[in-house]
Amino acid sequence: MSDAVVAFEGLGHSYRNGVFVFRGYSARVRRGSIFAVLGSNGRGKTTLLKILLGALKPTVGSVSGDGHYAFVPQLFHVSFDYTALDMVLMGRARTVGMFSQPSRQDEEAAFAALDRFGLADHADRPYHELSGGQRQLVIFARALVSQMQTLILDEPTSALDLKNQALVLDWISTLSRRDGLTIIMTTHHPHHALAIADDALLMIAEEEHVIGPAKKALTEENLAHLYGVPMKLMSFQHEGRQIETLAPVYALSRAVPSGG
């Protein structure tokens, strides 16, 4: 695998005999990089993540990787009355051990992770009472304390407001650039991928996919082809930085006001 942390070759999955969600997909995720996966609803992004996590066996193709990943799912339900802090402490399972109590150091790390996401005041609240976005942030905090070198994030910004989207994007970027972690994330936001990803996989159709450096893969043409919505790439200066971003162009049906 050389510099690749995760690699797959000729990968495909079929839940029902003969009907493939996708097949023939190949890619390599480089150590320390951010790898974004884009595709329309039902294209197979979560299926791909489940295969990489080893939770699902691919129907065809092969996957390699060390299997030591922290996973942040889209929705996370728990049946027990855990507090937000308990949820984060579960991320320390590797250091706490099966039947021991978390150490003071574990608790401090968990509390600091909650604080990083602005949730220190919610540490003792029941997890299931938190809002969807707050729960998503708690699960990020849990991934943060796990000390895994690879994070797999399923739509990490889906439940978040703009401020918390920016916080999480910055967090992902810092973990990769400063701490050398490898991040694999799915997203429905091409501009998020363009802002932070090194490489992108565009799952376009059953066999059709684009893989490459984010700036080369996330073109107006490829994205319009993927989503069926025109996309505009914009480049401008902001506070001395050159910004490149993407915006969809919506075709709105205009209702004609009556009598007008």
Ligand X SMILES: Nc1ncnc2c1ncn2[C@@H]1O[C@H](COP(=O)(O)OP(=O)(O)OP(=O)(O)O)[C@@H](O)[C@H]1O
Residues 46-75 interacting with ligand X (rule: CB under 6 A) = 46-47
Please, which of residues 11-50 interact with ligand X by CB under 6 A? 15, 21, 39, 41-47
Task: Provide the minimum distance between the beta carbon of 15 and ligand X in the complex, in angstroms, as a whole number.
Answer: 3
* Residue (56 or 120) nearer to ligand X, CB: 56
The site that binds ligand X (CB under 6 A) totals a number of residues, namely 10
Angle (CA) 215-187-25 rounded to 5° is 70
Closer CB to ligand X, 145 or 203, in the complex: 203
Nearer to ligand X, 57 or 104 (CB): 57
- Nearest residue to 1 via CA among 63, 92, 49, 78: 63
Shortest Cβ distance from residue 186 to ligand X (Å)? 7
Angle between helices 132-145 and 104-116 (to 10 degrees): 130
Show contacts with ligand X in window 224-253 (CB under 6 A). none
One-letter identity of residue 61: G
Collapsed DSSP state (helix, strand, coil) of residue 198: coil
Minimal distance in Å, beta carbon 184 to ligand X? Answer: 13
Which residue lies nearer to ligand X by CB, 107 or 206? 206
* Shortest Å distance, C-beta 16 to ligand X: 7
Taking the least distance from each CB to ligand X, the nearer of 32 and 39 is: 39
Q: Kindly state the smallest distance separating residue 159's Cβ from ligand X, in Å.
A: 13
By C-beta, is 8 or 111 nearer to ligand X?
8
Region 127-166 residues binding ligand X, contact defined as CB under 6 A: none
Q: How far is the CB of 185 from ligand X (least distance, A)?
A: 12
Tell me whether residue 43 or residue 135 sits nearer to ligand X (CB atom).
Answer: 43
Tokens found for residue 101: 């109590």
How far lies 216's CA from each of 90, 184, 194, 201, in Å?
A: 39, 18, 10, 11
Q: Quote the least distance from Cβ 39 to ligand X, whole Å.
A: 5
Binding residues for ligand X, rule: CB under 6 A, are 15, 21, 39, 41-47
